[in-house]
């Protein structure tokens, strides 16, 4: 599982630029599914045919990033955000552009307090001396992502972009296992989740599944003085009850709980008031689609060093495998 996750997190893929991730996924699963295609939004949709229910499993390929807005005459890049990038968390990070160029995120040192370290007081230094030199390397509108190579340690994985390549890894592993079922399984690797759950909406409309599950990350409440939260690292995948985008369909939530209990899989309940997942757009598409979520407890979401427990990842795959077999 670590190798699968590594290959996926290493692919460059901010929102709207997911094609490299899609290529990695395609190579991983193309021999194990009956059809694989992409749509106008860039969603990658793989189908394992069946005569039973149409089940859509969705994980988003995009990661958060920075986008160049202006380049000053000394060659420093000003930027905007792609998805939920927190200014303080970005400071001092290395970022990488699609062409491999590395930059460092820094701030105007005249600011009085780190509270004022807003994105518009920050810049990316790529070591260029002039605007012209910078423009030989990057252009307005180019995107960069955090650098943060994957590390396996004490049964945990530390990496950038685990949100939501860990979900992509679970779907890819599941597709490769080819679970025996009469149901028709749609493995959907979605785009532009971080900017508004966009890809999942068109994919769900085109597929019109009987039900859907989004696989994504959820924050934990188990670090020093963290915001209270019920979910901890290593205590099992979280079955979504509610987030800010969806209230999970009760029958899907109950079915997930039953599958976990029947198979001795530990689980937790996810009830959060911030953040959303692809289920948020899927469940209100095409006349309404019963939807739920399986979430991987994750520390430091949207940083260059997100942390998951590999047991939670493996148990999420087991849970989904049991779920799609009914």
Active site residues: 193
CA distance 168 to 134: 34
Residues 227-266 interacting with Zn ion (rule: CB under 5 A): none
Q: How far is the CB of 277 from Co ion (least distance, A)?
A: 9
Nearest in space to 223 (alpha carbons), one of 161, 156, 275, 151? 156
Q: Which residues pair with 300 in a beta bridge?
A: none
Q: Compute the least distance from the CB of residue 163 to Co ion, in Å.
A: 4
Does 18 help bind Co ion (rule: CB under 5 A)?
no
Q: Does 278 bind Zn ion (CB under 5 A)?
A: no
What's the CA gap between 166 and 233, in Å, rounded?
14
Per the CB < 8 A criterion, the answer to whether 12 and 100 are in contact is no
Q: How far is the CB of 120 from Zn ion (least distance, A)?
A: 25
Residue nearest to Co ion (CB): 163
Number of helices and strands in the chain (H, E): 9, 17
Distance of CA 126 to the CA centre of its chain: 27
Secondary structure letter of residue 249 according to DSSP: -
Distance of closest approach, residue 295 Cβ to Zn ion, in angstroms: 9
- Total residues at interface with Zn ion (CB under 5 A): 3
Residue of 216, 235, 270, 309 that binds Zn ion (CB under 5 A):
216
- Asked if residue 70 lies in contact with residue 78, where contact means CB atoms within 8 angstroms, the answer is yes
**Interaction mask 141-170, Co ion, x per CB under 5 A:** ----------------------x-------
Judged by beta carbon distances under 5 to 8 A according to partner kind, the member of Zn ion, Co ion, none in contact with residue 306 is: none
Q: Which of residues 156-195 bind Zn ion (CB under 5 A)?
A: 163-164
Q: What are the tokens at 237? A: 């995948």
Residues that bind Zn ion (CB under 5 A): 163-164, 216
Residues that bind Co ion (CB under 5 A): 163
């Amino acid at each position: 599982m670590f190798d699968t996750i590594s290959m996926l997190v290493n692919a460059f893929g901010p929102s709207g630029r997911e094609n490299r991730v899609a290529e990695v996924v395609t190579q991983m699963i193309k021999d194990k599914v009956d059809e694989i295609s992409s749509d106008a939004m860039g969603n990658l949709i793989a189908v394992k045919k069946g005569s039973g229910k149409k089940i859509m499993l969705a994980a988003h390929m995009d990661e958060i990033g920075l986008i160049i807005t202006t380049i000053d005459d000394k060659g420093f890049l000003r930027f905007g955000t792609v998805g939920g990038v927190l200014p303080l968390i970005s400071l001092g990070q290395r970022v990488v552009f699609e062409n491999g160029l590395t930059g460092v995120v820094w701030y105007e040192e005249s600011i009085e307090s780190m509270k004022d370290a807003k994105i518009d007081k920050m810049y990316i230094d790529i070591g260029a001396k002039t605007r012209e030199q910078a423009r030989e390397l990057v252009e307005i509108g180019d995107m960069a992502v955090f650098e943060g190579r994957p590390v396996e340690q004490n049964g945990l994985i530390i990496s950038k972009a685990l949100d939501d390549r860990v979900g992509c890894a679970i779907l890819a592993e599941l597709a490769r296992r080819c679970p025996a079922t009469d149901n028709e399984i749609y493995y959907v690797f979605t785009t532009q989740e971080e900017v508004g759950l966009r890809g999942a909406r068109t994919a769900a409309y085109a597929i019109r599944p009987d039900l859907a599950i989004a696989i994504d990350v959820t924050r934990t409440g188990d670090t020093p003085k963290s915001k209270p939260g019920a979910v901890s690292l290593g205590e099992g995948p979280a079955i979504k009850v509610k987030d800010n985008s969806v209230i999970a369909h009760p029958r899907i939530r109950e079915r997930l709980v039953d599958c976990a209990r029947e198979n001795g899989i530990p689980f937790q309940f996810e009830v959060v008031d911030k953040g959303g997942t692809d289920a948020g757009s899927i469940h209100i598409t095409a006349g309404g689609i019963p939807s739920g979520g399986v979430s991987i407890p994750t520390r430091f979401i949207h940083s260059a060093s997100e942390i998951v427990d590999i047991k939670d990842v493996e148990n999420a795959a087991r849970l989904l495998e049991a779920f799609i077999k009914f």
